[in-house]
Amino acid sequence: MIEIHRLNTFNNEIIMEMTENGKCVCQAKAISNIDGTAEIISFGNGYDMGKALLNAIDLMGIKEVFCKDDNLKDILKALKFKNAGNKYVLNLNGYFNAGC
Protein backbone atom coordinates (compact mmCIF):
# COMPACT_ATOMS: atom_id res chain seq x y z
CA MET A 1 0.00 0.00 0.00
CA ILE A 2 1.25 3.48 -0.87
CA GLU A 3 0.81 6.15 1.81
CA ILE A 4 1.58 9.86 1.83
CA HIS A 5 2.12 11.57 5.17
CA ARG A 6 3.82 14.58 6.66
CA LEU A 7 7.00 14.05 8.62
CA ASN A 8 7.33 15.81 11.95
CA THR A 9 10.17 18.29 11.95
CA PHE A 10 11.46 20.61 14.66
CA ASN A 11 12.48 23.47 12.40
CA ASN A 12 10.98 25.33 9.45
CA GLU A 13 11.05 22.34 7.07
CA ILE A 14 7.80 20.98 5.66
CA ILE A 15 8.36 17.44 4.39
CA MET A 16 5.84 15.09 2.82
CA GLU A 17 6.90 11.48 2.35
CA MET A 18 5.48 8.73 0.15
CA THR A 19 6.02 5.24 1.52
CA GLU A 20 5.29 1.79 0.20
CA ASN A 21 5.34 -1.14 2.63
CA GLY A 22 7.01 1.10 5.20
CA LYS A 23 9.88 2.20 2.94
CA CYS A 24 10.36 5.74 1.65
CA VAL A 25 9.67 6.02 -2.08
CA CYS A 26 10.14 9.81 -2.33
CA GLN A 27 9.86 13.09 -0.46
CA ALA A 28 8.65 16.60 -1.27
CA LYS A 29 10.11 19.49 0.70
CA ALA A 30 9.45 23.16 1.40
CA ILE A 31 10.72 25.72 3.88
CA SER A 32 8.40 28.01 5.83
CA ASN A 33 9.76 31.54 6.07
CA ILE A 34 9.46 34.10 8.84
CA ASP A 35 7.50 36.40 6.47
CA GLY A 36 4.64 33.88 6.26
CA THR A 37 5.57 32.43 2.86
CA ALA A 38 6.85 29.00 1.91
CA GLU A 39 9.57 28.11 -0.58
CA ILE A 40 9.31 24.86 -2.52
CA ILE A 41 12.60 22.96 -2.55
CA SER A 42 11.57 19.68 -4.24
CA PHE A 43 8.49 17.78 -5.38
CA GLY A 44 9.69 14.21 -5.04
CA ASN A 45 8.22 12.30 -7.95
CA GLY A 46 6.12 15.13 -9.32
CA TYR A 47 2.55 16.37 -9.44
CA ASP A 48 0.93 14.18 -6.75
CA MET A 49 3.62 14.93 -4.20
CA GLY A 50 3.41 18.58 -5.18
CA LYS A 51 -0.32 18.64 -4.40
CA ALA A 52 0.28 16.89 -1.08
CA LEU A 53 2.98 19.40 -0.16
CA LEU A 54 0.79 22.36 -1.14
CA ASN A 55 -2.06 20.94 0.94
CA ALA A 56 0.21 20.64 4.00
CA ILE A 57 1.36 24.23 3.48
CA ASP A 58 -2.23 25.45 3.12
CA LEU A 59 -3.29 23.64 6.30
CA MET A 60 -0.53 25.52 8.14
CA GLY A 61 -2.21 28.78 7.13
CA ILE A 62 0.50 29.76 4.67
CA LYS A 63 -1.02 31.19 1.49
CA GLU A 64 1.95 32.56 -0.48
CA VAL A 65 4.22 29.92 -2.01
CA PHE A 66 7.17 30.35 -4.35
CA CYS A 67 9.91 28.35 -6.02
CA LYS A 68 13.18 29.55 -7.53
CA ASP A 69 14.13 26.21 -9.15
CA ASP A 70 13.58 26.58 -12.90
CA ASN A 71 14.15 22.82 -13.30
CA LEU A 72 10.71 22.29 -11.71
CA LYS A 73 8.91 24.64 -14.13
CA ASP A 74 6.80 21.94 -15.83
CA ILE A 75 5.40 20.68 -12.53
CA LEU A 76 5.04 24.23 -11.21
CA LYS A 77 3.00 25.23 -14.25
CA ALA A 78 0.83 22.09 -13.93
CA LEU A 79 0.18 23.08 -10.30
CA LYS A 80 -0.87 26.59 -11.50
CA PHE A 81 2.22 28.52 -10.39
CA LYS A 82 2.83 31.72 -12.37
CA ASN A 83 6.19 32.86 -13.64
CA ALA A 84 7.22 36.06 -11.86
CA GLY A 85 10.62 36.71 -13.40
CA ASN A 86 13.22 34.98 -11.23
CA LYS A 87 10.73 32.71 -9.45
CA TYR A 88 7.36 30.98 -9.73
CA VAL A 89 4.57 32.06 -7.38
CA LEU A 90 1.23 30.65 -6.23
CA ASN A 91 -1.44 32.00 -3.89
CA LEU A 92 -3.28 29.19 -2.08
CA ASN A 93 -6.39 31.23 -1.21
CA GLY A 94 -9.21 29.06 -2.56
CA TYR A 95 -6.77 26.72 -4.32
CA PHE A 96 -8.27 23.57 -2.83
CA ASN A 97 -11.84 24.79 -3.25
CA ALA A 98 -11.60 25.30 -7.01
CA GLY A 99 -12.30 21.65 -7.93
CA CYS A 100 -10.38 19.67 -10.51
pLDDT tens digit sequence for 41-75: 998 878 889 999 999 999 999 999 999 999 999 99
- From residue 69, alpha-carbon distances to 8, 34, 41, 58, 72 in Å are 24, 20, 8, 20, 6
- Which is more confident, 9 or 56? 56
Listed in sequence order, the residues at least 6 apart from 11 whose beta carbon sits closer than 8 Å to its beta carbon are none
pLDDT at 44: 82
Question: Which CATH superfamily includes the segment(s) 2-97?
Answer: Gcn5-related N-acetyltransferase (GNAT) (3.40.630.30)
Ordered by start, the domain boundaries in the chain are 2-97
Closest alpha carbon to 84 in 66, 59, 64:
66
Kind and range of the H or E element at 26?
Answer: strand 23-32
Closest alpha carbon to 27 in 14, 17, 35:
17
| pLDDT-derived band at 99, boundaries 50, 70, 90 | low
